[in-house]
Amino acid sequence: MNDNPFTKSWQRNCLLFIAWCLLSTCLVSVPATAQLLKVPVTVESTENIWQAPDLTALDLDWWVPFADVSAEITSQRVNLFLSALEQRTQGLGGGELIAAQNAISNLKSLFELLALAKQGPLDPQFGPPLAKETYFLDDVLSLRGQWRALELNAAQIDLKIEQTESQVNLLQQRRDKLLRQYEASDPESPSRILIGINRLASKVEYELALEHIESSRQTQKLINVQSLLVSEQQTFAQDHLVNTDVTLAEAEDIIFKAREKVIATAEKVAAVQPQLLDVLSAATVNTSLELLRKQQLTRASADAELAQLEEMLVVSKSSWHHFRAGLLDFGFDIQSESAVSRRLTEEALGQAELWSSISQTTLITPSSDTNLNAVKNLEIAQTVARDTLAIVDQIKSTGDSLLLVQDILTKEMLSAQSGLRNTGARLGLVFDNAWDRLIELVGVRLFNIGETSVT
């Protein structure tokens, strides 16, 4: 009875559901507990009440009283400190007083942001992975799409952590510089007060950046757990595929429509090309119109590439349906089909890098002309650039789906030939995981704006 496939799959789905429930419990239990077990408001006794340090005589360890105490005590001490700072700056006049007031206002905002950050990040909300006894091919692709989204999110958080760590290093350098200026200034001078406030702010901003790093890492751990659950469910789904959702006639109709889209997108490329040539060959240079036409050609080219990938995907899905129905042409060459799919995907990914770079550049291009037509051309070009970036994302996803379907078809054909169908054998095939390359595209640094990396 334990060898019954239905029983095994039912047990597996139950285990996956229980795992998801445990994850969901982890995601919501902490906030719920926090609400049930509210920390009582703590007030420092009048005998041991904390005294704010003198702004003109700050020790190196002035931060310690704010570090390891409750949120309530921290709030009390911050308010006392800010009040002391305001009183200490009352003797300033003119521009120095205004500068000090602005600096204190900024410091107060940083303290508020830090208090909020210390409450921890909002936990990401995940739905349970699709759990069924049997799966259609589109179910597998849907699970793969969920996994891709999680991996992209994790990669973006990883990049955010890297950027924040760079910010921490810069803030530390700023703190060191302010400390040197502070120690070199006259204790009774207005500059000592202003530098002191800035020194306080740089420390709070430093702690805020560290909190952001820790929060990002907590979120990333939760995403990684969910990613593993979805990946395992996809593996299970691939072992329990059925092909009863699409008839062969429907599959052929889908291919026909995909090929119509390939023709239509190619015609759009052909229509935009002469428009760009007209601008380039004009006697008068029209920079904004040239930018618009180039971006329109970029979008049209990306759309045409996507259409070709989508056609290859539906053809591969149709081949799998025909194979499952026992109606795949005898002369079907899986190796040749796989090679074509891989080549087309790699070419599309290479082009995607270029199109993404062009579009990002368009988005940060400033208007160099106040002429109404020039401004409008730039606005349209930037809208087209955003559309292009969305198409680039679809190219990455479609390319990954294409190689996945080819992988499934290849494994099933080899399993059938070797008598290994439904054994769950994992064969080492010629396919490397194309998603490794797709995920790299997300983190490619195209250029920098100041200290910020644009990807």
Spatial neighbors of 447 by CB under 8 A, at least 6 apart, are: 357, 360, 361, 454
Identify the CA nearest to 240 among candidates 93, 364, 382, 137: 137
CB 313 within 8 A of CB 398: yes
pLDDT at 226: 94
**Phi then psi dihedrals of residue 453, to 5 deg:** -85, 130
Identify the CA nearest to 110 among candidates 193, 204, 175, 194: 204
Which residue shows structure tokens 């994790």? 154
Identify the CA nearest to 342 among candidates 264, 407, 297: 407
Whole-number percent of the chain with pLDDT over 90: 65
CB count in 10 Å sphere of residue 62: 18
End-to-end CA distance of the chain: 54
pLDDT at 350: 94
CB 77 within 8 A of CB 168: no
Q: What residues of the chain score a pLDDT lower than 50?
A: 1-2, 5-7, 10, 21-41, 46-47, 420-435, 437, 439, 441-455
Identify the CA nearest to 387 among candidates 256, 298, 319, 285: 298
Q: Residue 447 is encoded by which pair of tokens?
A: 């250029």
Task: Provide the β-strand partners of residue 64.
Answer: none
pLDDT at 291: 95
pLDDT at 244: 83
CB 442 within 8 A of CB 349: no
Separation of alpha carbons 345 and 394, rounded Å:
12
SS3 sequence, 207-221? Answer: HHHHHHHHHHHHHHH
pLDDT at 13: 54
CA distances from 4 to 13, 16, 75, 115, 415 (A): 14, 19, 62, 56, 21
Identify the CA nearest to 392 among candidates 447, 443, 348, 344: 348
pLDDT at 43: 52
H/E stretch holding 64 reads helix 64-67
Separation of alpha carbons 252 and 258, rounded Å:
10
